[in-house]
Amino acid sequence: MKLSNILSNGLKGNLDSLLQSIDYDRLFVLTDTNTLKLCMPLLDIPEGVYTKICIPAGEENKTLESLSHVWQCLSHGGASRNSLLINLGGGMVTDLGGFAAATFKRGIRFVNIPTTLLAAVDAAVGGKTGIDFFGLKNEIGAFAPAEAVIIETGFFKTLDRKNFLSGYAEILKHSLIHSVEDWKKLLAFDLEDIHYNRLSDLLIDSVRIKEKIVAEDPVEKGIRKALNLGHTIGHAMESMALESGHPVLHGYAVAWGIVCELYLSMIKTGFDKNKLVQNVRFVKERYGIFSFDCKQYDRLYELMQHDKKNASSKQINFTLLKDIGRVEINQTATREEIFESLDFYREYFC
């Protein structure tokens, strides 16, 4: 996807001109049960011009069954290789819909219209699509870029605060890997009284950071790993929370993971302590506490060893920072250093 295909100034105008510019025979719109109610009315495409497909909301439905339902609807609706699918929803819908499109008749085109902040800044851009399988997240999938991504902050007005903050953590991550200026703007943004036009500007800058990195390294052989900051320890926390029956939102786990990985950055690549402390304060105030004790360190470590990003289970791969905007990919840390970062987290948070 070219950078110019991220559209952000007016949903109706963007969508009309996009649909006019694409030569397709049939149009399908995929939603989940929530975005059907809350977001579809904003889309304003005349009935009869498209076929609706709806899947149940929630990560537990990012399954083969939902995927099969989408394929069936495409098939029954007469979709051909020349049809177009619009994915209107959060990351669950854009991931699953993107994968359905990538595989139906060996690939039809799709457009993502993300309706959560997390999807706008992360899931809908970058071409990773897929479903969960046998309890493993994103186990089956494909790299398949959207024809275009239309970002409309108006959708986020119905998001609950937790889902809003979850997406904001990925924006924070993008600023950390990009520049001090972006990072300062993010820390200063008023999350209590959201100004949606300003959010739109932050968001577009953030998406461009991801898109630029993805354009350089679409299949994560090198610099795309920069986007993994906070995710090695964050994913382990997310999985441990899921195992304990108290799941946490992805962005929350990333925010907590960023704290630990910036600590590792401080001891291994010289990240500045004051900036670490500012991040810790920001995360603690917005995202609260993920409680665990030292008896759970071994389990967290095991989960990190199973991370898809490792070249081998003996070496856990991290993306660290020398400074804000100065990324060091392919870093490793010893078990002791990782445990030290968990100690640091607990000292500040618990």
* Whole-angstrom distance, CA of residue 287 vs CA of residue 342: 17
Name, in order, each residue with C-beta under 8 angstroms of 140's C-beta and a sequence gap of 6 or more. 64, 99, 130, 131, 133
Which CB sits closer to ligand NAD, 69 or 128?
128
Q: How far is the CB of 64 from ligand NAD (least distance, A)?
A: 14
Interface with ligand NAD by CB under 6 A: which residues? Answer: 32, 34-35, 38-39, 57-59, 62, 89-93, 95, 115-116, 118-119, 122-123, 126, 128, 137-138, 155, 158-159, 163, 166, 250
For residue 310 the two structure tokens come to: 């490792």
Q: How far is the CB of 157 from ligand NAD (least distance, A)?
A: 8
99 touches 131 (CB < 8 A): yes
Q: How far is the CB of 80 from ligand NAD (least distance, A)?
A: 26
3-state secondary structure of 124: coil
3-state secondary structure of 113: strand
Give 142's strand partners.
Answer: 129
Which CB sits closer to ligand NAD, 32 or 307?
32
Q: How far is the CB of 98 from ligand NAD (least distance, A)?
A: 8
Q: Are strands 128-133 and 136-143 parallel, antiparallel or unpaired?
A: antiparallel
* Whole-angstrom distance, CA of residue 337 vs CA of residue 216: 31
Give 54's strand partners.
Answer: 31
Which CB sits closer to ligand NAD, 27 or 249?
249
Angle at 158 between CA 138 and CA 31, to 5 degrees: 45
Q: How far is the CB of 90 from ligand NAD (least distance, A)?
A: 2
Which CB sits closer to ligand NAD, 38 or 242?
38
